[in-house]
Amino acid sequence: MQIHYTLEDFSVLENAIATIGTFDGVHIGHQKILHTLTRLALERNTPSVLITFWPHPRKILQPLSKENKLLFNLEERIQLFQEFNIDHLIVIPFDIAFSKISPEDFIINIIKNKIGTKTLILGYDHRFGNNREGSFEYLKTNANNYGLELIEIPRQDIDELAISSSRIREAISKADFENAFKLLGHKYSLTGKVVNGEMLGRKLGFPTANIDPENEDKIIPPIGVYAVFVEIHNEVFQGMLNIGTRPTVGGKKQSIEVHLFNFNQNIYQEKIKVIFIKKLREEQKFEGLEALINQLNKDKEIAKKLLSTI
């Protein structure tokens, strides 16, 4: 998959088949669109193009919206897109000026003239252009003017899956990873850089990697202790993760810390990926360090047993 971060570095194609969307979560509804894109491109021997935007348009147009928390940042989405054998990914920088482009200009100047799109695939509810005036109905009315073949992913196809990013966000906010997995079609994960901490875990015999998420808008599961897998340089390790303030040792600031089983590498400043499997318990304040250590040992055994079955 060739990735283009601006339209300036993209060379027009011939008879491209394309789709447009933010695809936050790349959930199973999105996957239906992407599978249709790549299947038709293969059948017709034409290049496939996925057009997306960054930052998320809602972040620019509705900066105070509660819906601005993202399931996956751009890099995480790109990793998921890689699985679909798409030929070209175009990431259009989204800002106020771009949001004011009319639907007509967007289709003619970008979709047709700049990309070379012959066939356009859209989900039933996709909107585009200034004030979201563009829609599938708009395109259908003007299809002959644009010389586009239009393919709609029908509402019933998506609604039968009962998929929406808001439902997935709700599941993650409740640490309901089983339901999130059913809706996403893949496990929920978080990527971030390992940063220096206070070394308190090491003193307890449970050294941890403190994770700084890559994007401030990333949805973080609620406070608690979790069984997780951790991917480092394409190698996967078992671990347990704590999201919280560490009240037993007098912590005040919320942190994300993961303890990796059978691991002794130095990974400071490395980027790692945490894959959430199950919430083990709530964070709690223990009477002392001995009680905390005893509970951590129990958590570790429970997590190891759970993760070994997956």
CATH number at residue 123: 3.40.50.620
- Asked whether the beta carbons of 29 and 154 are under 8 A apart, the reply is no
Answering whether pTM is above 0.85, one says: yes
pLDDT in tens, 201-251: 666 778 899 999 988 889 999 999 999 999 999 999 999 999 998 888 777
What does the pLDDT read at residue 69? Answer: 85
What does the pLDDT read at residue 162? Answer: 47
Q: How far apart are CA 53 and CA 92, in angstroms?
A: 5
Q: How far apart are CA 103 and CA 106, in angstroms?
A: 5
- Same-domain pairing of 195 and 159: no
The answer to whether residue 177 is domain-embedded is no
The answer to whether residue 175 is domain-embedded is no
Residue 14 has pLDDT above 80, yes or no: yes
Q: DSSP letters along 109-127, please?
A: IIIITTT-EEEEEEETT--
Percent of the chain predicted with pLDDT > 90: 65
pLDDT in tens, 113-132: 999 999 999 876 778 888 88
Q: Looking at residue 292, which CATH number applies to its domain?
A: 2.40.30.30
**Who has greater pLDDT, 277 or 142?**
277
pLDDT in tens, 251-299: 778 999 999 999 988 899 999 999 999 999 999 989 889 999 999 999 9
pLDDT in tens, 165-207: 788 999 999 999 999 999 999 999 999 999 987 666 666 778 8
The answer to whether residue 43 is domain-embedded is yes
The domain containing residue 115 runs over which residues? 2-167
The answer to whether residue 73 is domain-embedded is yes
Number of domains in the chain: 2
- Same-domain pairing of 12 and 124: yes
What does the pLDDT read at residue 95? Answer: 94
- Same-domain pairing of 20 and 138: yes
- Asked whether the beta carbons of 225 and 299 are under 8 A apart, the reply is yes
